[in-house]
Structures are given as structure tokens and as C-alpha cells.
A = this chain, B = another copy of it.
Amino acid sequence: MSAELRIVALVFPNVTQLDLTGPVQFLSRVPGAAVDLVWHSTDPVPTDSGFSIVPTASFAEAPQADVLMVPGGQGAFDILDDQVAIDFVKHQAAGARYVTSVCTGAFVLGAAGLLSGRRATTHWASHSMLSLMGADPEEARVVRDGNLITGGGVTSGIDFALTLAAELAGADIARKIQLSMEYDPQPPFDAGSPTRPEADQELVASLKANYRAIREGLVQAAAESR
């Protein structure tokens, strides 16, 4: 039986695995959905969290996506010059109903030329670098511009997934998924973004500086080779 709704997500070495696993948990509950995790081969891919995930399909085997999703992490920057991966994203995006990213997966969309002139978001610590990709960076947890839906850092992927679930199947289905996932967040601290009162501003400054130092060159090179 072929799925009615093909979710195709990229997976790659050193992915921030929750960027991927959070949305996939929610989106796999959309009626008719089938999820594929795609990479060069179906050998296990090491994540940032000390364990590996097995892709379900290689680039060659992957079905055309209805929803294309690219997660982030340091690994996303390491594949900006992987022409096979970037071409896969570009070709899939051309046939997808929705083109999406979570966290710094936005930069992979950027390397595929998919952010030019479009509003987008990413992890707060790399947010300002989005403009190097020609995007119009917007500070929000979920940003929609036409068929482009981007999520902010890591756990933003869950709010992103609920937003997308409502888009795909209606608000009632999204609410049912939220209930079954018991997504009624009660963080024990209020430090989840740079604007929050308990956020450590020294960490904000140092993460922004560190990420710019190690990532800006990669982003510029990718933007220039598009």
C-alpha cells in the first residue's frame, strides 16, 4: 500500500538528533503518513548524542517527498559542500508540497538555493548568518513563507511539527497528536531563549561568537557556489 503522505527527512553524521526525532514522532502520527530518513547509503549514521540511526533509504531509493524536512546540528554545516546531498535536496524540493527545516537545517536549504528572498528562521545562535544565504531572517520559533516552513533551534521542531500537522491534516488532528504526545510543556526553568529572564547572556554571546567562527566560512562558501 503506498502512503498518502510521504515525509522525507535528511539524516547525516553529527545531526542534532532531536531536530529530526522530535518532528518525526509527531508527523508519523498524521493519518496516511510514511516517514523516510535518507542519506547516501542505509548504513547507520552517527548522531550528536552518542548513538546511530539507520536511514530507511539511500538518495537513489528515496521516494519523491510530499514534505521534505532537513534537520540541523554541526553536521548540517559539514554537508554544505556535499554536492550529491545538496542536489538531492534541490531536486526533492522542486516536487514537494512543503519544503521545511528545523534548527540549522535551514542552511542546507540555503545551500540548495531555496531561501533566496524568503523569510526563514533557525537556531538563535546562528540566526544572523541566514542573511548570507539570501534569506530574510525572522526571529520566531516557526516561520512560514509560502510552502517554506522553517523551525528554530532543536525543540522548536515540535512546535514546527504541530503547525505542519495542522496544515497537512487540520487543526483537530494536530490537537489529537498533541494530546497523545502529552505536549503540555512545563519547563522547570525559564532559560529557553536569549530573551528569557534566566538565560545566561555570557553563554549567548560566546555561542554566537563560536558558531560564527566555525560556521561562517562554510556558509559563505556554500552561498558563493550556489
Q: Which residues of B contact A116 (CB under 8 A)?
A: none
Task: Specify which of B174, B185, B200 is in contact with A158 (CB 8 Å cutoff).
Answer: B185
Is A16 located at the chain interface by the 8 A CB criterion? yes
Q: Is the beta-carbon distance between B199 and A181 smaller than 8 angstroms?
A: no
Task: Report Cα–Cα, A178/B16, bound state, in Å.
Answer: 14
Contact with B along A175-187 (1 / 0, CB 8 A): 1101111111111
Task: Specify which of B35, B52, B176, B186 is in contact with A49 (CB 8 Å cutoff).
Answer: B35
Q: A18-B25, A162-B188, A191-B178 are in contact. Are A53 and B50 (CB under 8 A)?
A: no
Task: Report Cα–Cα, A75/B52, bound state, in Å.
Answer: 20
Task: Report Cα–Cα, A55/B182, bound state, in Å.
Answer: 26
Task: Report Cα–Cα, A166/B188, bound state, in Å.
Answer: 9
Q: Is the beta-carbon distance between B189 and A162 smaller than 8 angstroms?
A: yes
Copies in the complex: 2
Contact with B along A53-91 (1 / 0, CB 8 A): 111100000000000000000000000000000000000
Q: Which residues of B contact A21 (CB under 8 A)?
A: 17-18, 21-22, 25, 49
Is A119 located at the chain interface by the 8 A CB criterion? no
Is A113 located at the chain interface by the 8 A CB criterion? no
* Interface of chain A residues 12 through 43 with chain B (CB within 8 A): 16-18, 21-22, 24-25, 28, 34-37
**Interface residues, chain A, CB within 8 Å of chain B?**
16-18, 21-22, 24-25, 28, 34-37, 44, 48-56, 103, 123-125, 141-142, 152-156, 158-159, 162-163, 166, 171-172, 174-176, 178-189, 191-194, 196, 198-200, 203-204, 207
